[in-house]
Amino acid sequence: MTSPHPDRRALVREGLAVGLATGLYGTSFGAVGVTSGLSVLQTCALSLLVFTGASQFAFIGVLAAGGSPWSGAATGLMLGARNTLYGLRLTPLLAWRGWRRAGAAHLVIDESSAVAGTASTVPDARVGFLVTGGAVFALWNLMTLVGALAGTALGDPRTYGLDAAVGAAFLALLWPRLQDSSARRVALVAAALALVLVPATPAGVPVLAAASVALVAAALPGRPAPTEGADA
């Protein structure tokens, strides 16, 4: 029996390492989910069915601010739209069709797209994608449960200052993406718009407006493709 190709072994190691680092962060989502008003079951269902960290944090952030679930869902959808671009990039790399392509769609996140994109062959890209996506998915959901149970045991989040945890966690996901001047300019414009709208609009609207700034900027001609960063 021949041993795995060295490049493939490196992809497996990288995928598992990324999965461990990202999956552990699911503890934060579990904790802030229940301290923002969701049940343990609802929090775990979000990680299982939505499975994209920025969208999940945005959703519970809107709820924690008093916004409606519809506003939270709309915000999450807008932030998750970038996964469509990743899917377009991954289609020729993975070359799956039918049910395999449909099944793989749930694992299309920043991390799995980034690792698969470093592979030089279709089989290697598939290994990198599945190992990374599978590792993140398994650990993210497990640690969401752990964090949700811990958050339930803590009680009122304001007692520990955890009412600010949603914003802090979301900022931690956002920060690695601000790697160039154009991204920082878009972030500043979006933040300024949100701050202006906060006193005058219902909860959730400022976040939606800020997300629309990023979508408009991405649609402008000459914009570079989005870069991969930390997300589940």
pLDDT band at 224 (very low <50, low <70, confident <90, very high): very low
pLDDT band at 228 (very low <50, low <70, confident <90, very high): very low
pLDDT band at 66 (very low <50, low <70, confident <90, very high): confident
Give the pLDDT score at 227: 44
Domain limits, the chain: 6-219
What is the 3 state secondary structure string of 164-231? HHHHHHHHHHHHHHCCCHHHHHHHHHHHHHHHHHCCCCCCCHHHHHHHHHHHHHHHCCCCCCCCCCCC
Mean pLDDT of 154-169: 52
pLDDT at 64 over 90: no
Mean pLDDT of 104-114: 89
